[in-house]
Structure 1
Amino acid sequence: MPNTLLSLVTAELAAPADPRAAAMAGALAAKYPAAARAVLFYGSCLREKNLDGLMLDFYLIVSDYSAAYGKGWLARANRLIPPNVFPFEHNGLIAKYAVLSEADFARLNSPAADNVSVWARFAQPSRLLWAADDLARQRAIAAVAQAAPTLLDLTLPMLPSGSDHGLLDIWKAGFTLTYNAELRAEKKGRSLSIVDVDPDRYAQFGRAALAAISARRGVGTGGEVANSMSPADAPALWRRLQSRGKRLSVIRLAKASFTYAGGIDYLAWKINRHAGTQIAIKPWQRRWPLLGAVTLLPRLFRGGAIR
């Protein structure tokens, strides 16, 4: 991978973050002293100056799931349907964190992933707020550096042929595809606004990612980036990613009802915040969160709150 992309990712992951988020990352790592390898901070809260009242998003990277949980069912659940997601509070801030092993984090940022959830997020800005040692830091950086090339590589064959496409348009097309491959509680157009918030960043990362793809695969006859697959095969791949991604979203929701205390209230908060709805959770839904979450789905689809 060209040094340009790796250096961009290294610098972005090391950029300053809110000190309270950094302290929270350290406290989170301390919960898993035998397993914690890295803690990454990502999501919309990166851009917020006041974190009070917000739900921060972290990924906790661990050496392996047995070291993190022992031999109980949580390790098996994390291995079979990664990641596990848990709530966390520290010094007045609240967060949720997803747990992945170093091996799964690397795989799920690469084209070998069978769903978009990790590489779609880490193609966006993030911060590496804690690492156990230099090897853990380098492994986390290398994994994140796969995300942007994965997104662009899988997007290029989906673009209309016969015309040039600007870097920002490629990014927007890619994020639109990924948003359609998950159940997302976001307002329409959110996939486009991600790029519009920081177009210079996406132009810079886009050039470096395309260079990385070209270095790995070569260029086409006209000097263009060679596609990873034919335009005829790409729609079938994305249909599989969309089908699997939405199934996984429901499965993870069901799993979170067991691993995430107050998960259904978080679900309602997330949907209300991003989709502009006013969902109120009823007492029976808190008592049976799995059933309550499932009963929300038809209403949310009808109202367009998730897609």
Structure 2
Amino acid sequence: MTSPLSALVAEELALPVEPAVSAMAAAIAARYPHAARAVLFYGSCLRETRLDGLMLDFYLIVSDYRAAYGGGWLAWANAQIPPNVFPFEHDGLIAKYAVLSEADFAALNRAPASSVSVWARFAQPSRLAWAADDAARGTAVAAISQAPVTLFALTLPMATNDNPLDIWRQGFALTYGAELRAERKGRNNSVIDADPDRYARFGAAALAIAKPIADAPRRWPRLQRHGKLLTLARLAKATTTYAGGIDYLAWKINRHADAAITIRPWQRRWPILGAISLLPKLLMKGSVR
């Protein structure tokens, strides 16, 4: 039997996207003909209609990593430090897409996940821009339906009231502290304020089934420590998979935090050291938290 929350997720995922987004999602899937199961569109571009000059965000869900890559380094890296992230261009638009297996996508949306990065994103709106078949659609809905439940289960023990919007705000404030993020202060509130009706409906449905996790106050500091270390590990890994990764990092920080950073030639030559060298200045300025 479909729960009210799953019904809301299915309805939201099925909302139409711009034709250019659908075309790009299909093109991403076509790169993995033996493994692609679903392509999800998410992020700050979701409500945009003029996409030129923007970096679109996708998740590619695959059956498994060997089917996607044929084994080797990429399959191993994706399994050990998920996800792999790749740049993509199609018909004049640019994007990045992260790759997760169906099993990892389901696991990383649940409360036992050691990182907030997947469930914190998919507790927010997304669209199913491409799916291999009805089974793939159902698997995506089931996984994403866990994301708001996870956020509420981990936030309820610290909540000051049972207002869904207040729980969302506190939950996002906690998740923003669990990653190295380039966001303006108050971003967690602006996400909710952009569509409070959506968050009220999803929050009420999540609140009805979420069971507070008793040790959440002890888990959050661990999630925050692990999340920031994981961000650095993913950044290091991205230098082997993401061409121009340090320039994308600078673009993202400048766009979200008005940091006005520029990348020097030596930082492009040694992107891991270059990215690490930016951190002290960004942390001191509060551009990355």
TM-score (norm: length of structure 2): 0.98
TM-score (norm: length of structure 1): 0.92
CA RMSD of aligned residues (A): 1.0
> Helix, strand or coil for the counterpart of 1:186?
coil
What pairs with 1:1-307 in structure 2 (closer than 5 Å)?
A: 3-160=3-160, 164-213=161-210, 227-229=212-214, 233-307=215-289
Distance (whole Å) between structure 1 residues aligned to residue 111 and residue 158 of structure 2: 15
- Report deviation, 1:2: 5.3
- Report deviation, 1:41: 0.2
> Helix, strand or coil for the counterpart of 2:9?
helix
Report the structure number with the largest CA radius of gyration.
1
1:182/1:242 contact within 8 Å kept: yes
1:2/1:211 contact within 8 Å kept: no
Distance (whole Å) between structure 2 residues aligned to residue 195 and residue 66 of structure 1: 38
1:40/1:127 contact within 8 Å kept: yes
> Helix, strand or coil for the counterpart of 1:89?
strand
Distance (whole Å) between structure 2 residues aligned to residue 202 and residue 278 of structure 1: 33
Deviations 1:64-111 (A, max 9, x none): 001111121110000000000000000011000000000000000011
Deviations 1:45-75 (A, max 9, x none): 0011211100000000000001111121110
> Runs of 4 or more off by more than 6 Å in structure 1?
none
Distance (whole Å) between structure 2 residues aligned to residue 23 and residue 3 of structure 1: 31
The one-letter amino acid of 2:63's match is: S
Distance (whole Å) between structure 1 residues aligned to residue 137 and residue 32 of structure 2: 17
Aligned pairs, how many?
Answer: 289
Tell me, which stretches of 5 or more residues in structure 1 are unaligned?
A: 214-225
1:56/1:94 contact within 8 Å kept: yes
Tell me, which stretches of 5 or more residues in structure 2 are unaligned?
A: none
